[in-house]
Amino acid sequence: MNLSRDRILTTHVGSLPRNDVLTDLLIRREAGEKIDAKKLAAEMDSAVADVAERQRAAGIDIGNDGEQQRVGFQTYVPERMSGFGGESKRPMGRDLIEFPELIEVQKRRFPRRGKGQNAPQAVAELKYLDTAGIKGEIARFKKQAGAKFSEMFMTAASPGIIATTMLNAYYDSYESYLKAIAREMRHEYRAIHEGGLILQIDAPDLAMSRTINFQDKTDAEFQKICEAQLDAINQGIEGIPRDRVRLHCCWGNWEGPHIHDIALELVLPIYLKANVGALSLEFANPRHAHEYSVLKKIPVPKDLILIPGVIETTSNFVEHPELVARRIEEAVSVVGDRERIIASTDCGFGTFAGREWVIAPVVWKKLESLRQGADIASRRLWGKKVG
């Protein structure tokens, strides 16, 4: 994994907006409708090529396929694994319970969505069917992206976010379910690594699930659950060099109060047990921008890269490059090493097909501002002309 040797490198968390045609095809496929496979393949080719070029034009150093080939960052998993069926009854988050008006707002804003709250559940022994799907994604990305990036990454869902989205109706305990998922997702994790890409584990369960699946638990009880989820990640990535894996944790990518989010200070020590080379965290989110101070109390280990979110992903405001630079400089100040900072977004811009908070033209402007801000910060940090 590259370090920011002579300037601050830029990346993002993974998902990028999908066009309307691709969105419709992905949602229909997930629903079990018959679709034109050739049309879907052609749309994916075009979409991956487009987002790769837009990332390059915006100045992204470490890019991906924008998750254009998936209906959602974790709800794609049942398409690749047997043992799922029926429908999960995922709990409603505390934000929506306390502010039910938000439910109607979201219904009006996102009238057609994939299976987020009503995904299938585990009803039998899980079995990863084959790696054709993930290998196809890798091949398409490499072909369409060419040599546009200094490094390329691909996302994969953590065992914990799978377990808290596709609920357990088969295994004798949550821990057993996590272990089964980790065992089977190893196939996907390793395929990404063997395909020559950096593996990003998307694990919002390590924070977000506190206010959804485990809202009735105490913070101490959730910390134990979080440790089990982190252990499952380590089991799943075992054997992959840590410098080829990065971990993304967040409090949920939606526009809401977030007043019940768990504090970073309570979970960061758990995150630091991950066998990964980089940690991606939200710091542009207005509810968590102050938590750089936590990194002063709980230092980032010297062998770990921090990927701070310096661009917010649920607002159509475009951050001023000077603000981005200041956020990057704050991250450098708490880590104490400019080379171990890679500037990023808080979360994805298209975590689910049909549910994009930020319009596509603004997404590209935000990524441009990310690069511009990184260049400003680099000039200050290195004391020379950059960009």
304-325: per-residue pLDDT in tens?
999 999 999 999 999 999 999 9
Please report whether residue 4 resides in a domain: no
Can you spell out the DSSP letters for 42-97? HHHHHHHHHHHHHHHHHT-SEE--TTTT-SBTTTTGGGTEEEEES---PPPPHHHH
pLDDT of residue 92: 87
Contact (Cβ atoms closer than 8 angstroms) between residue 123 and residue 78: no
Q: Domain limits at 307?
A: 9-382
Place of tokens 């400003």: 376
Q: How far apart are CA 322 and CA 348, in angstroms?
A: 22
Q: How confident is the model at residue 377 (pLDDT cuts 50, 70, 90)?
A: very high
Domain count of the fold of the chain? 1
43: CB partners within 8 A, 6+ apart: 19, 21, 22, 25
- pLDDT, mean of residues 289-311: 96
Rg, the chain, Cα only: 19
Q: Give domain status of residue 2, yes or no.
A: no
Continuous H helices in the chain: 20-30, 37-58, 94-98, 101-109, 132-145, 159-165, 174-194, 219-236, 264-271, 294-297, 321-335, 360-382
Burial of 146 (0-12, 13-18, 19+ CB in 10 A): exposed
How confident is the prediction for the chain on average, in pLDDT? 94
Q: Is the pLDDT reported for residue 303 higher than 90?
A: yes
In a domain, 175, yes or no: yes
Is pLDDT larger for residue 267 or for residue 253? 267
CATH number, residue 196: 3.20.20.210
DSSP state for residue 242 in the 8-state scheme: G
Assigned domain for 256 exists: yes
Global confidence as pTM: 0.95
SS3 9: strand
Three-point CA angle 98, 103, 106, nearest 5°: 135
Question: 253 lies in a domain?
Answer: yes
User: How distant, in Å, are the alpha carbons of 28, 211, 290, 363 from that of 312?
Assistant: 30, 20, 14, 10
Output the six-digit token pair for 167.
């609920």
Which phi and psi (to 5°) does residue 237 adopt? -100, 5
Q: Is residue 387 part of a domain?
A: no
Q: Domain for residue 370, yes or no?
A: yes
The pLDDT of residue 114 is 60
In a domain, 333, yes or no: yes
3-state SS assignment for residue 306: strand
Q: pLDDT tens digit string along 29-84?
A: 988 899 999 999 999 999 999 999 999 999 999 999 999 999 888 999 999 999 99
pLDDT of 161-182, one tens digit each? Answer: 999 999 999 999 999 999 999 9
Helix H or strand E encompassing 152: strand 151-157
pLDDT tens digits along 263-279: 999 999 999 999 999 99
Half-sphere exposure of 162 (CA within 13 A, CB side): 29
Please report, for residues 21, 69, 123, 163, 361, the alpha-carbon distance to residue 171 in angstroms, rounded to integers and kept in the order given: 38, 30, 8, 11, 45
